[in-house]
């Protein structure tokens, strides 16, 4: 937004995805928190998918930032785009891995999170795709079972799968379209008691040459798959209230055999993977349970917006998490070094004094968090130290 107005981009879900007796929940549902629980210091770390973020816009390359910020808080709330790096997922030990729309609903005050020991992860794959890539995905699931103890609730090989098509919005953001999702939603709804989280693997069609172009431009091109993946998992998470994440399958043997050479370090994790699925499985293994019954929000084991102390975002990012944090009185730190497509002057919003801070980079953001956790005014450790303003108030 600027002085001339607002430009918004939204995702749209077909009404047919809901049961006839269900009333679709509004993404604008909001419950203001009554208090802040200050017994712990907890942070939500968001790097929106598909906006070309300099840090976190590719293959889990905001993981080091996440691990740094995690040392400054009791619990770090993250979403797949932050740490998913194909075969690698080095999420901090004190983090909760949730789907991006769940973070929004958490800050909006309508969803709580309950930690789990482990999840039964259902794996859904496009059964109509090339057998080589299907076998590789199944082998990846078995590797997760044998190497880090994944509890697999089964593998569904869908002969009539949903279809994903990547695209770029008029604003330059990665987006796309998901078709024929109704049958999957119905299957998941009918078997909901058999699993706790769902991993989805399917190809996402892109124009010819997209893969080669993406890897040859040294990280300058927006990841073309992330936007449509977010549309898919946001939809499933909102409709079914379950943890969900997607990994793209190789589109063809031709693409799999392309010699990419040495690529930009931020793209390297994707360039060496065949299935891209283990980061998803590792994240979903302990993804928290979604609690929507607000009567349960008073339970000590349920993490709610009252437990959230701060939100860290890339500079200029404006969306429901930022606006919800504004209304909830949650501090927001915008990181200037993490440049992206969004060009919003967040300083114009009606923040309370000290609620909005701009950090030059994630190293400085970590300093802000440590100061806030210690109950210090961040300005008190900088020089020059401004004089205290004294207002003269007349008595009448």
Q: For 329-381, what is each residue's pLDDT tens digit?
A: 999 999 999 999 999 999 999 999 999 999 999 999 999 999 999 999 999 99
| pLDDT for the residue 395 | 72
Phi, psi of 185 (to 5 degrees): -60, -40
Which residues lie across from 291 on neighbouring strands?
A: 112
**Reported confidence tier of residue 252, pLDDT bands at 50, 70, 90:** confident
| pLDDT exceeds cutoff 90 at 215 | no
| pLDDT for the residue 258 | 84
| pLDDT exceeds cutoff 90 at 255 | no
Q: For 309-324, what is each residue's pLDDT tens digit?
A: 999 999 999 999 999 9
**Three-class secondary structure assignment of 122-160:** EEEEECCCCHHHHHHHHHHHHHHHHHHCCEEEEEEEECC
Task: Output the pTM of the full model.
Answer: 0.95
| pLDDT for the residue 205 | 87
| Whether 181 contacts 12, CB under 8 Å | no
| pLDDT for the residue 7 | 76
| pLDDT exceeds cutoff 70 at 1 | no
DSSP secondary structure code for residue 386 in this structure: P
**Reported confidence tier of residue 213, pLDDT bands at 50, 70, 90:** confident
Rounded Cα gap, residues 350 and 352, in angstroms: 7
The listed range with the strongest mean pLDDT (18-22, 39-43, 55-59) is 39-43
């Amino acid at each position: 937004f600027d002085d001339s107005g607002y430009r918004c981009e939204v995702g749209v879900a077909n009404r047919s995805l809901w049961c006839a007796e269900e009333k679709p929940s509004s993404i604008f549902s909001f419950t203001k928190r009554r208090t802040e629980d200050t017994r712990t210091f907890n942070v939500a770390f968001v790097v929106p998918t598909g906006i070309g973020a300099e840090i976190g816009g590719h293959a889990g390359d905001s993981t080091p930032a996440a691990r740094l910020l995690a040392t400054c808080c009791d619990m770090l709330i993250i979403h797949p785009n932050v740490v998913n790096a194909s075969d690698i997922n080095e999420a901090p030990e004190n983090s909760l891995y949730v789907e991006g729309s769940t973070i929004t609903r958490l800050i909006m005050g309508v969803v709580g999170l309950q930690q789990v020991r482990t999840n039964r992860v259902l794996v859904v794959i496009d059964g109509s795709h090339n057998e080589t890539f299907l076998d590789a995905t199944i082998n990846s699931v078995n590797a997760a079972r044998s190497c880090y103890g994944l509890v697999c609730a089964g593998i569904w090989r869908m002969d009539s799968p949903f279809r994903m098509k990547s695209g770029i919005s008029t604003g330059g953001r990665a987006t796309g379209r998901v078709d024929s999702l109704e049958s999957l939603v119905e299957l998941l709804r009918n078997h909901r008691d058999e699993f706790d989280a769902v991993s989805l693997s399917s190809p996402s069609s892109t124009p010819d040459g997209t893969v080669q172009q993406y890897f040859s431009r040294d990280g300058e091109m927006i990841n073309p798959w992330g936007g449509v993946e977010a549309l898919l998992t946001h939809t499933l998470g909102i409709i079914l209230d379950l943890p969900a994440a997607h990994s793209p399958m190789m589109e063809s043997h031709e693409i799999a055999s392309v010699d990419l050479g040495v690529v930009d370090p931020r793209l390297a994790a994707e360039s060496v993977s065949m299935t891209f699925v283990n980061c998803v499985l590792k994240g979903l293994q302990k993804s928290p349970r979604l609690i929507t019954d607000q009567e349960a929000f008073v339970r000590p084991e349920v993490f709610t917006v009252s437990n959230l102390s701060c939100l860290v975002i890339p500079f200029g990012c404006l969306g429901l998490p930022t606006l919800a944090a504004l209304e909830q009185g949650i501090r927001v730190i915008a990181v200037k070094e993490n440049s992206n497509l969004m060009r919003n002057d967040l300083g114009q919003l009606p923040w309370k004094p000290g609620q909005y801070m701009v950090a030059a980079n994630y190293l400085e953001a970590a300093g802000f968090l440590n100061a806030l956790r210690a109950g210090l005014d961040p300005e008190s450790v900088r020089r020059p130290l401004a004089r205290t303003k004294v207002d003269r108030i007349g008595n009448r």
